[in-house]
Amino acid sequence: MVTVAGSPAVSPFARLGQRDYRRTPDHVRFWSKVRKTRGCWLWQGGLSKYGYGKFQLTLPHDPAHLKPKQKHVAAHRYAFKLKTGRWPRGYLLHECDTPGCVRICADHVHEGGQRRNVRDGLRRGRSRRCTTPTIVRRIRRECPRGKGVVRRMREAAARYGLSPTAVCWIVYRVTWRWVK
């Protein structure tokens, strides 16, 4: 959990009943859980165990259900949807290395995208961006093989801005075999 000293932890909706809360539009609920700093915009709601914000999205009303259906989405992905009007294609990169950040801009959370990836790759040297022995060790520690490894690798890929394949190769020691 990302905590910031002196941040108001109480949401403006804390005193509303569940029904009013449900009736509040998603984007209003969303922004009530974001604390904007001069740099990162920090998610104050629930976090996944990897530090990404979690947001309960209300799904379009289905007459078969009395209550509105809700679904967990990553907060930064919903922030992207709010800003651009569409869901991101593929993973979003956290340029600021703060998983709980939901600020959509080039310096914080962005889509990456083919052109940018290619340009960054040329500028920094593809392998330097992706992998250092430290990152390799961290990925292997965070992705123990066995049940759920695919999900863990996918999450690690998003976290480190690598392709899922690159992470898979690291975990199964196709690449970086010499790193203990």
Contact pattern from residue 34 through residue 53 relative to Zn ion, giving x for each residue in contact according to CB under 5 A and a dash for the rest:
------x-------------
- Among 42, 79, 98, 161, the residue binding Zn ion under the rule CB under 5 A is 98
Q: Output the DSSP codes for 125-156.
A: -HHHHH--HHHHHHHHHHS-SSTTHHHHHHHH
Burial class (CB in 10 A: 0-12, 13-18, 19+), 78: buried
- Among 92, 93, 101, 102, the residue binding Zn ion under the rule CB under 5 A is 101
Size of the site for Zn ion (CB under 5 A): 5
Which span (21-29, 65-73, 99-107, 123-131) binds Zn ion, by CB under 5 A? 99-107
CB of 148 vs Zn ion, minimal distance in Å: 28
Whether the CA torsion 112, 118, 122, 128 is positive or negative: it is positive
Q: Is 94 or 152 the residue whose CB approaches Zn ion more closely?
A: 94
Q: 3-state DSSP call for residue 96? A: coil
96 binds Zn ion (CB under 5 A): yes
Contact pattern from residue 104 through residue 133 relative to Zn ion, giving x for each residue in contact according to CB under 5 A and a dash for the rest:
----x-------------------------
Whether the CA torsion 20, 26, 27, 33 is positive or negative: it is positive
- How many CA atoms lie within 13 Å of 116's alpha carbon, on the beta-carbon side? 10
Residues that bind Zn ion (CB under 5 A): 40, 96, 98, 101, 108
